[in-house]
Amino acid sequence: MVNLVENLRKEAGRLLTEGKVKHIIGYEMVEPLKVRPFFAKSADDANKLHYSPLCAHNLAVYLTLEEIKAGEKIGLVVKGCDSRAVIQLIQEGIVDREKVVLIGVPCRGIVDLEKLREELGERNVQSSSATGISIENGVVKVETKNGIIKFDRKEIVFDICNHCQNPTPVLYDILLGEEVKPWGKENYEDVKEIERMDLKERWNYWKEKLSKCVRCYACREVCPLCYCKECLVDKTMPTWVRKSVVTSENTFFHLMRVFHLAGRCVGCVACERSCPEGIPLSKLFRKMEKDVKALFDYKAGMDVEQKPLLASFKLEDPEEFIK
């Protein structure tokens, strides 16, 4: 982990001093357990870049900003899922491959801070007493003022990370460290659990979850693939979705997002992580991902040469809907 951060700083410093990129979007550590996106503009800034198993943000979202698209070449730190979002953006013609240097980080899982806080609480450890965090060989080590506390990775990373099939970036220019093999299986058990519910039970489940939505649109704003200039829910002439924050309109908003991301969502679940109300959005998006895979044998964001799902067809595509 220390080597990784050193390498990152070295590579970033080189790219910046050699003028290969205008700036690098990475992470900085604000507090031992708090990291956030960071725009490094100089060699000095490069030394502030950081990486830890808390670097959850999918930084590809910044590639869709107008000033970044119009600007000069930049560097971007990507994990496996983030790199797939970049591939998808390249496929869709939003990102110019020539204008971005991808600094790949082989991901060993991202720690869910909420789970970590809970676990620390059970051990009577204040999360503010933590001084560092690292992940190696399936073990998460939290350094505190009173020694190191170890956790099994599976218990403490985001659920989604336990399904991850692409921990190593799929696309990169520089890879920091060795490739990482997937440690979990993709069995869509979380989705199947919902599928097993009967219609009424399922509707009640989602009604309850979606009634909590406050429409802060954090899910939309953190999503790298949600880059429409004007979102359907913001349109007022005509109004498609009422401003009233009620279950019907909330449901429409979320289902609309799922459909608009069909064959495009790369499953980073930045949306779910950003949701202050804890709505299990990953279950909706993973259902779509599972169906897309079953119907069209397609996985989003795997190959820059591949065409987006909805812009391509195969002779064997199912067509039961044509009557």
Partner 1 sequence: MINKVIKKRDLQKFLRNLRTKKLYAPVKDEEGKIEFKLVNDLKEITFEFTNTLKPVKSLFIPQTETIFMTDKKGIHPPKVSNLGVVFGVRPCDAKSIQVLTKVFEKDREDPYFLQRKKDLSMIGLACTSPGENCFCSSLGLGPFSTDGLDMLLADIGEKYYVEVVSKSGKKLVESNQELFSEPTKADRKLRKKAQQNAEKKIARKLDVERVTAKLKHAFESAIWDEVSKICVGCGICTYFCPTCHCFDLTDEFLEGKIFRVRTWDSCTFPYFTLQSSGHNPRPTRRERIRNRIYHKFQYLLENIGEIGCVGCGRCLENCPSGVNLIEVLSRVGKS
Q: Find where tokens 């933590």 sit.
A: 130
Helix axes 247-260, 281-296, angle to 10 degrees: 40
Shortest reach from residue 307's CB to partner 1, in Å: 29
> In this chain, which of 4, 7, 39, 186 binds partner 1, going by CB under 8 A?
39
Q: Looking at 74-82, 184-192, 220-228, 255-263, which segment touches partner 1 (CB under 8 A)?
A: 220-228
CB nearer to partner 1: pick between 128 and 312: 128
- Write the secondary structure of 222-275 as one string of H (helix), E (strand) and C (coil): CCCCCCCCCCHHHCCCCCCCCCCCCHHHHHHHHHHHHHHCCCCCCCCCHHHHHC
Site for partner 1 in 249-288 (CB under 8 A): 270, 273-274, 276-278
Site for partner 1 in 91-130 (CB under 8 A): 127-128
Shortest reach from residue 192's CB to partner 1, in Å: 20
222 near partner 1, rule: CB under 8 A: yes
Site for partner 1 in 60-89 (CB under 8 A): 61
138 near partner 1, rule: CB under 8 A: no
Main-chain phi, psi angles of 120, to 5 degrees: -65, -40
Shortest reach from residue 142's CB to partner 1, in Å: 15
Shortest reach from residue 1's CB to partner 1, in Å: 20
Token pair belonging to 193: 């659990």
The CA-based diameter of the chain, rounded to the nearest angstrom, is 69
CB nearer to partner 1: pick between 131 and 239: 239
Bond from prior residue into 238 cis (ω within 30 degrees of 0): yes
Q: Looking at 100-108, 241-249, 285-293, 308-316, which segment touches partner 1 (CB under 8 A)?
A: 241-249
Query: How far is the C-alpha of 300 from the C-alpha of 263, rounded, in Å?
Result: 5
Q: Looking at 182-190, 209-217, 291-299, 308-316, which segment touches partner 1 (CB under 8 A)?
A: 209-217
Q: Looking at 155-163, 174-182, 238-246, 286-294, which segment touches partner 1 (CB under 8 A)?
A: 238-246
Taken in order 90, 93, 94, 95, the sign of the CA dihedral is positive
Q: Looking at 35-43, 152-160, 166-174, 301-309, which segment touches partner 1 (CB under 8 A)?
A: 35-43
Token pair belonging to 278: 């804890």
Query: For residue 292, is it left (φ>0), alpha (ψ between -120 and 50) or beta?
Result: alpha
Shortest reach from residue 304's CB to partner 1, in Å: 25
Under DSSP, is residue 301 helix (H, G, I), strand (E, B) or coil?
coil
318 near partner 1, rule: CB under 8 A: no
3 near partner 1, rule: CB under 8 A: no
CB nearer to partner 1: pick between 102 and 226: 226
Residue 195: closest CA among 205, 185, 186: 205
> In this chain, which of 48, 99, 141, 215 binds partner 1, going by CB under 8 A?
215
Query: How far is the C-alpha of 153 from the C-alpha of 131, rounded, in Å?
Result: 19
244 near partner 1, rule: CB under 8 A: yes
Q: Looking at 37-45, 131-139, 173-181, 253-261, which segment touches partner 1 (CB under 8 A)?
A: 37-45
Token pair belonging to 243: 């401003």
The H-assigned helical ranges of the chain are: 2-17, 43-46, 66-70, 80-91, 113-122, 153-156, 189-195, 199-210, 218-221, 247-260, 270-274, 281-296
50 near partner 1, rule: CB under 8 A: no
Q: Which residues bind partner 1 (CB under 8 A)?
A: 30, 34-39, 57, 61, 127-128, 214-218, 220-222, 234, 239, 242-246, 270, 273-274, 276-278
